[in-house]
Every structure is written in structure tokens, then in C-alpha cells.
Amino acid sequence: MSTTTLKSPVSAQAQPRKHTAHKRRTSPGWFLVSPSVMLLLLWMIVPLGMTIYFSLIRYNLLYPGENDFVGLENFEYFVTDTGFTPGMTNTLLLVGSVLLISVVLGVLISALLEATNFWGRGIVRVLLISPFFIMPTVSALIWKNLIFHPVSGILAAVWKFFGAQPVDWLAHFPLLSIILIVSWQWLPFAILILMTAMQSLDQEQKEAARLDGAGPLAIFWHLTLPHLARPIAVVVMIETIFLLSVFAEIFTTTSGGPGFASTNLAYLIYNQALLQFDVGMASAGGLIAVVIANIAAIILVRMIGKNLTQQQ
């Protein structure tokens, strides 16, 4: 239904313009778009096709030449693998918690920044968004060695200061630690987007509400939050894409352990593929990741895809 309502205004606009362009000379349109479209089409179809093919055959780099068709056997093995259930649970926990943390704190922090004008607001903004620009391997190792380290880490010092026994974060709370690291990287992204969105909120409208006697909380709830609906959806969508593939942070800190305690789907597939050389099973896992990403994408695009085009 949404597509039909979408189409009509677009084609109504496009039609006359196309005609005038045609009169003068043929439109350069497709000639200029096609390189990008062709490349992206190849990028989507070829590897995906190969993944589907690999997932249906026996294909282990350690046993070359034995490439029989095995149907859904790879999927069966992947799903019944001891790592599968923890991998799936950890993926959902990781994506869910980081989304929750970055959206809730992101809204609160950007609202705090926009609430009043205070000394050094520009610097505060720069400090807040900085972690987003730190490369994943650096964030992971800095947190592992300078923050989480049970002997010389900052948290150990804080714990000792309060007379508590320092915690070996990555060994005892591996998933929580990964969630903290990844949230630290992605909360600034939410702040960056939401802060910019808040600045576009009509100040006069806010002033009018204030004069009508609305308190700051009422303004926040009835004016700011509805205005943020779309930016929040954008944050959720983009973070979901990246969070489903979190890899470097796990690779450089816990290697998915202890056991499978911090293994997510991405790391599990990497493990099957490049450590156990089982291409078939890794491909089956890869397809499962694709399906999950697409379920999330369909839901999210339904929510905001309409917004994206309507606004143009």
C-alpha cells in the first residue's frame, strides 16, 4: 500500500521533466547510473550465489575434491553445532543491548546538550562524538589493556579505591565487556545523529510551547521525542547493520571465549571458515546471517524507507 501512495507523486513530477529533457537531447541518465548499479548488482549476486552453492555441497579445504551435493546437511550441522545456540543468543543480546544503550543514552545526552547554552558546549560535543572515529581494533585493545585489565586497568584502580576486589572483566563477564566496548563506539554515533536532528527542531515552536506554560519535560515528551522518531529509526537501522557483523572487537579481545561465552554469529562463521576450513558449513552460517539481516532490514525499511523517499 505504501508503495502505491509513494509512486504517484513521483511519476507525476518526473514525467514532464523527462519530456523536456528528451526534446533537447537524450537523457544521459542510465548511462551514468549504470556503472554503479552494475557493480553493486555483481557485488550482491555473485558472492551470494556462490554462498548458496557452497552451502549445499560438501566443501572442506582440508579434503579437496570431495564436493558432493549434500542438500541441507551443512545447515543441519551448523544449527546443531555446540556454538550455534550461544552464538545466536549472544548476537541478539549484543545487538539488542547496544541499540538500547545507544538510543536511550543518545536521546538523553543530546537533549542535555540542547537544553541550555553552557560554557564549552562545542568542546563537549567534540569529546562526545570522538569514540566513533576510533578504529575498532584500537578501541578493543585500549579497553582490554588500559581499562579492563585486572591488575593495571583503570577499573581495577577504581574498584581498589572503594575497597573492592578488582574484576577480570574479559574473563568473567566477556559478553558484558564486549557490549560495553561496542556501546562506547556506537553511542557517539547516536549522539551525533540525534544532536543534529534536534538542532533542526523549530525553536519558535518550542518557545510557543514554553509560553503556553509547558514544562521542559512536557516539551521533551510532546515535541522533541516525536520529532526524533525518524532519526532514531535511522540510528537503529544503521547500527543494526553494523552490529550484526561485529567482529574485530571479539577477535582482538576474547577470541569468542571463554568457551562460546562471547562468540557471535560473525565470529562463529569466521571460526568455521578460516580456522576449520569448512567452507560449506561457513556458507550455511553466512546464509543464516543474511536471512536475519534481511528480516531486520525489511522491518526497518518498512518503518523508515517511506520517510526517506517522501522527504526528498
Site for other proteins in 264-293 (CB under 8 A): 265-266, 269-270, 273-274, 279, 282-283, 285-287, 289-290, 293
With beta carbons less than 8 A apart as the criterion, state whether 212 and 182 touch. Answer: no
Choosing from 60, 81, 230, 257, the residue that interacts with other proteins (CB under 8 A) is 230
Alpha helix locations (H) across 200-264? 203-211, 216-219, 225-243, 248-253
d(CA 6, CA 181): 40
Residue 107 C-beta: closest distance to other proteins, Å: 13
The answer to whether 5 contacts other proteins (rule: CB under 8 A) is: no
Phi-psi region at 255: left, alpha or beta (left = phi > 0; alpha = psi -120 to 50): left
Q: How far is CA 277 from CA 60, 69, 70, 213, 271, in A?
A: 6, 18, 17, 67, 8
- Interface characters, 17-56, with other proteins (x: CB under 8 A): xx--x--x--xxxxxxx-xxx-xx--xx-xxx-xx--x--
How many chain residues are in contact with other proteins, going by CB under 8 A? 120
- Beta-bridge partner residues of 278: 60
Residue from 200, 203, 212, 213 touching other proteins (CB under 8 A): that is 200
Q: Which of 88, 93, 261, 304 binds other proteins (CB under 8 A)?
A: 304
In the shown chain, the binding pattern of residues 248 to 267 toward other proteins, with x for contact by CB under 8 A and - for none, equals x--xxx-----------xx-
Nearer to other proteins (CB atom), residue 93 or residue 147: 147
Within 104-163, which residues bind other proteins (CB under 8 A)? 109, 112-113, 115-121, 123-147, 151-154, 156-157, 160-161
| DSSP code for 166 | P
In the set 197, 219, 223, 236, which binds other proteins (CB under 8 A)? 197
The greatest distance separating any two alpha carbons of the chain, rounded to the nearest whole angstrom, comes to: 81
Looking only at residues 71 through 110 of this chain, which bind other proteins when binding is defined by CB under 8 A? Answer: 109
218 binds other proteins (CB under 8 A): no
User: What are the phi and psi torsion angles at 25 (to 5°)?
Assistant: -165, 170
Give 90's contacts (C-beta < 8 A, 6+ positions apart): 175, 260, 261, 262, 263, 264
